[in-house]
Amino acid sequence: MKGKRFRRFLAALVAMLLLFTAPGAVSVCAYMEEMELQNIAPQATYTFTHYDPSYPDYDPFSNPAWYKADETGRQLTDGSRAPVNDYENEGWVGVSAYTAGTAVTTATFQFPASVVISSVVTSCHPASVEAGIDLPKQVTVSISQNGTNWTPVAMADDTDPARMLSIELDQAYKATYVKLDYLQKYGVGWILFDEIEIYGTMDTSEGTDPSDELLSAGCAYVLEANDPVHNATTETFITNGWYKPDTNGAELTDGIFGSAADYEDTPWTGFSGWNSTVTVVTLDLGGLKAVYRAATNLFPAGKDGIQLPASTRMLLSVDGNRWMDIGVAEDEAGIKNYMLAEAYQARYVRLEYQNQGWIILDEIQVYGSHDPSSAKELDVNPAVDLADGKVYTLTLADSNGEILLPGEGETGNDSEGKKLTDEVKASSPNDRDDTAWVGTSGSTEVSVHGLKTGTAVMTFQIDLGQASSVEQIQMGFCTDGDILPPARMTVWLSQDGIDWIKQVDFTDYDGMSDFHLKKPVRARYVKIELQHTYEWLLLDEIDIIGHVNADTVVGITDPTPCDAPSVQEPHVETPRPSTSVESRFPNNAAPEALSGYQKPSEGTDGIQDLVLLYNQYYKEGTGDYTVEKLYPYLAYLDREGRAVDTMFDGVLFLALNSNRWNNNNGNEVWRTFYTSGAPAEKIDFEWYLKKTFGAGGDLDALEETAELVAQNLGRPEYKVKTVIMAPVPSTDLGMGSRQAALDWYLNEVLSLFEEKNYSRVELSGLYILEEAITGGNQELVQHIVAFAHTNALKTCWIPYFGASGVAENVWRTLGIDAVAYQPNSYFYDVNSGERLLATAQQASSKNIGIEIENGPEAIRQWDSFEKALDYLDASVLYNFQGEGAFRAYYQWVLGYERYC
């Protein structure tokens, strides 16, 4: 052992261990003395490697300007120290790195046989601004017996530089290989070493074999967030700034930890959400492993809205499609270090973190064994309560369809829509005062709406989250005195939440409390209608029993109408909003002041009303267009369905995903055409081009529809203009560069359209699919504009509210021709009037148009209807109706067609 520094370190270490050795425990100090610790690094050979994910081809060892060479291959273990005031001395060894916080220099030591190690000391050159030298940001020590499967055993960062350069392991470990990862602190700088010492012994009789092997190092994963209550997807969180980016898509498994004092540090990533938000990480371990622990490193709670998760749920899978729910950990120890009761065979690990605000994490480490043979096989599809813990809606309507709930007639304090799926049941069906009951009153004496006995219908509706096998429905009813079970139960199932098919319609009480479907039925949405018998109807729980993975269930069918007698449903007129236009909209804007919108003009190619038609892949074929679907978009129809005028004069075809998903990262992670999710490949672009331009495709249907409209209206000159999406490729599609990939796609669009030689459809322009212009896509967006103008086409952009590129007028600088600004008030819980005014003011001041937004749910849901109506009222109040503005129309998929 050399030097005063190490002797001081060892003395302090021994003193600490003497203080903390519990009575009766094995004395670690005595054990260390018995081992006669020494620097065993000279017994090993070592190699230097360097990797920078931002510059994967960068090889510092190939250039003397980037690598201060280890001339003998033994300089780091020869016991010779270099002078600290002379970094050019040949005793210093190291590399120059580019990227701070991601570039890693690794020293890997191989011993001739297994050894026992207890600590590691690194001698680094002090920081020197003039010379571009700094200490590492972080050092991680890992061990292995075979040089392939590694287990991290210690980590220290620059919050404690002394510990970082003199790392004590929590116990003595057996190892044949020792790996030290040094993380670059600043970009374009040097880390220099003159000596690395590994203390331990060559005697392995007492050492501890690590119980865990790290399985997740460098593995691929998908980071997502969803919130069914607020109808928010991962894209919603990203576009609204509720996301700290995972800068390289590898932060959670790269072994690099963020600063515990600074959540802005690059390795940290995560989502902000409500209590109903779930942050989800799905890891692909690359092969079948034995999994029995998952550790999550989380930023501490309390700073700027950051909280630990309320719970962590683990799911395991062999194929990424069928999952076994391992369970939920709600204590802090379990959330941070999820321990399984026994090891399971799995390739995919999914961790679901329940938000309470921001969840910020920097590393997930899955431990177990690379040998799965001794682990238990998964039961990937047990029958479960599919509704457990999910949020639902509960409404009450009278025989005229008037919605009374939420509002009057509500009991049980179920404002969050959770009590009927929380597994908390009433102690007795005869105790009406139990707090577990939820229900409504349909009695004339109780309701302020004067309902007649037996006419009220309570409707329970739930989204199961994915297509599942629905097999059984169980409900608990209160039967205390005059509180009775329902007179009738009707069960509806749906694949998309829009088209419902009746499955059950009967009056037998026993059947209602525990009903088995004749066959397993595939459905994602369940709606249960319960008709009041008299006064109160109270329930304590609704269980929907079935299998999560519908495709594995033998004999499963799609929903088909039941053969039981049905009840004629009354026509329901959608009510007008209860508040006046004046009370919902700010009155501080004079319409005459808002007249600067972009109008139908040369920039829009004369288009006034451009409807967005999503022609991406849907399992139900919703995005496949026919004459029947397109007719209401081109023709304005009267109540008898006759064409009396034209409707939209422009049609935009666009797609967010192809017909493929990424099976390597879990179920249905779709191949997307925008810069999020699993990047689309050339085969996906070819699929979209064929779907849009191929024989019998969407454009052929548009041409046929336009011909029919021309005939029915007696307008032989009639034509419709179309705009085709121009995505910004996330990869080069195997063509050398993203620009080359973009050129290929755009030329295909032009060539395929010219081949069609349509007489009724004109190609007007290209739609820039990215809704924000950033440094990462600006060059390619400019390339789209240049291509369009070279070929006498226009470009169209529809940015979301507050998107990058709007306020800065980047779109104008790039030469984009037509812009429609999204208010986004239809989708989010914001003051609709204020948001629409702000949108109108910005659009008018910047000479751009506005997007009108709604969806098919607007004819079924009160809040959606009211928000959709706000857009129309705002168009009058703020002067963007008629010829006053260029407008785009978002209606999700077939929204307007369903209105007809």
Domains 3-210 and 392-552 equal at CATH topology level: yes
Phi and psi of 492, rounded to 5°?
Answer: -120, 145
- Beta strands 189-201; 93-97: pairing state: antiparallel
Rg (CA), the chain: 33
Residues belonging to the chain: 900
According to the CATH classification, is domain 220-380 in 2.60.120.260?
yes
Helix (H) or strand (E) holding 318: none
Fold of the 392-552 domain? Jelly Rolls (2.60.120)
Give the whole-angstrom CA distance, residue 50 versus residue 64: 15
For position 205, what pLDDT does the model report?
A: 66
According to the CATH classification, is domain 3-210 in 2.60.120.260?
yes
The per-residue b/e assignment along 376-386, b for 16 or more CB within 10 angstroms, e otherwise, is eebebbeeebb
Stretches where the chain sits below pLDDT 70 are 1-36, 101, 187, 204-211, 380-381, 398-413, 415, 442-455, 481-482, 506-512, 533-535, 552, 554, 561-584, 586-592, 619-620, 662-669, 676-677, 857, 859-862, 893-900
Task: Note the maximum CA span of the chain.
Answer: 102
DSSP-based three-state secondary structure for 492: strand
For position 411, what pLDDT does the model report?
A: 42
Q: How confident is the model over 341-385, as pLDDT tens digits?
A: 889 999 999 999 999 999 999 999 999 989 998 889 887 667 789
pTM of the model: 0.43
Q: Alpha carbon of 744 to those of 738, 749, 752, 792: distances in Å?
A: 10, 9, 12, 18
Among candidates 30, 43, 35, which has minimal Cα distance to 203? 35
Give the whole-angstrom CA distance, residue 709 versus residue 645: 9
Among candidates 887, 885, 840, 853, which has minimal Cα distance to 649? 887
Phi and psi of 882, rounded to 5°?
Answer: 55, -135
Helix (H) or strand (E) holding 290: strand 278-298
Q: Domain segments of the chain: what residues?
A: 3-210, 220-380, 392-552
Among candidates 56, 64, 63, which has minimal Cα distance to 98? 56
Residue 163 makes CB contacts below 8 A (sequence gap 6+) with 156
How far, in whole angstroms, is CA 489 from its chain's centroid? 37
Q: Angle at the Cα of 313 (from 312 to 318), degrees rounded to 5?
A: 140
Give the whole-angstrom CA distance, residue 41 versus residue 46: 9
For position 526, what pLDDT does the model report?
A: 95
Q: Alpha carbon of 543 to those of 62, 418, 463, 500, 555: distances in Å?
A: 65, 12, 13, 20, 22
Q: Alpha carbon of 444 to those of 142, 266, 447, 809: distances in Å?
A: 73, 62, 6, 60
Tell the burial category of 859 from Cβ atoms under 10 Å away from its Cβ (0-12, 13-18, 19+). Answer: middle
For position 668, what pLDDT does the model report?
A: 52
Among candidates 477, 279, 255, which has minimal Cα distance to 366? 255
For position 564, what pLDDT does the model report?
A: 36
Q: Is the dihedral of CA 408, 413, 416, 418 positive or negative?
A: negative
For position 759, what pLDDT does the model report?
A: 97
For position 663, what pLDDT does the model report?
A: 54
Asked if 639 and 630 count as a contact pair (C-beta separation under 8 A), the reply is no
For position 818, what pLDDT does the model report?
A: 98
